[in-house]
Structure 1
């Protein structure tokens, strides 16, 4: 079991220690559930009230904390407790699954594929013709990487992921279990003689650097060009990104949200959980779409949209207040 003194932890956080504890810190935990050998976090003043009943001996807190730690308890004050929390979690993180050999003997790797130095390929993987895997890539068991794809250095691909042909992936990416990159876009047209005719999807997917895609999410390839995810995008589990969509840098999509085909997101766009975006829609830089919203038209940069169909947040709140009054009045 890992354990650290308060001084060990602060050496990493470089914060200000207030109070002191002689207890060794054995794990991070939520305030309400922590024991007297565990570290917790207060990232918002509304959670200060839970400190009095918590057993945690140490908390990482923001600089504006308004309470004292108490006897044999301490705070480490930092500028941003939420960011500091990520450093503490890394400190206590258990080791990643191990490889007994860099290239497992049951992996099937085409003779034309190139595997960079320090890369590891797990059991049951398939790496197709002309695939290029850069340095220090980790591919866990039962991953499929199809023809002519390229994977940037330091990327991690978890089990069950399928990367279809001609996909281009940047450096330092993470693909969680069973996500699918580069499947056919959803394209059909009615024909009186043949019913629904499939439109061939001959494009690809291009993914930038430091992109993370959650479990069971899908990024469809373009119809005749590329579906693009810019640097730093973070995609949650169970997300659908339709063909020919273009995401700028540092976009966030929460679970169960979806983009139809040919949607364009600017830089820093946030899509809330279960939100859906109509095809051929453009959402400007920094815009926010609230959870469960349905976007049917373009959104200007910086706007916050709510509701179904989505309208500007202030307008949505007015509408909801009016509906609430109508219901209340009808019940009198």
Structure 2
């Protein structure tokens, strides 16, 4: 008798193009983005089971499981969309994963955490890191930018699922997607922080806020102007997560301390986004534009800080300060990144 053809799900990509495959997807983490991803996949014809660390209500087309084991019981693809690397490692360390499963790590956790996840997974379980560019609205519309890292064969196996969410860019080996996401987020967050400083300068120079924004819209900060003006329902990026992401950017430079890397703005912004610190932007400084103030000096934004990315650090500090100003004595870590440039 002739051998039966191998029709396991990773050989069935063409079938999905004409109808939904009988493939179960688990989405672990049903926050704003995780929920949007789960609903989008369910709407595209996939059988989706979701799980969240804290109880949540129903989602259209998604079976919400009460425990991890039930969520992944029949899943060929397990997507994680969690807060940080520690959360991803905790959840995946407790979930029973069978041979042949592919974990698609879509959180923003950085390449070091991706490698730690790979070391944690049991034999026979593959990993693709696939963080995303875009917010909840893009997830709902299937227009996310998906930055995939991993073995080409593993990326190909999960591509039918990812294609339902947006455009897949295979950036390279495992960790390459996470590295690309760190770069994208550092650029976006520090640009918004820079916009906040520039608006302060505009006000001091006598330029109306609306005029300044219109002027900047056509320049290098145009994308930051658009991001700052986006409605919260379309783009929500909590300052606490922005601070975490800038921390990943700063950490990425540490192994290269001997390479004379210098990113002070990113470092200072991270302190702001932390939203829990009482450290002033620049101790004793009489300025509301610390990044600009520091631009002509080699002194780091926070004196004594051991960082090669002072610009990022400056942006982090700005986020923390902005969140405190609008939250009173208690910081508001869930405030959107645009809090930096909102009028009080």
TM-score, scaled to structure 2: 0.25
**Richer in helix (by share):** 2
Relative contact order (C-alpha < 8 Å, sep 6+): which is higher?
2
Normalising by structure 1, report the TM-score: 0.25
* Bigger radius of gyration among the two: 1
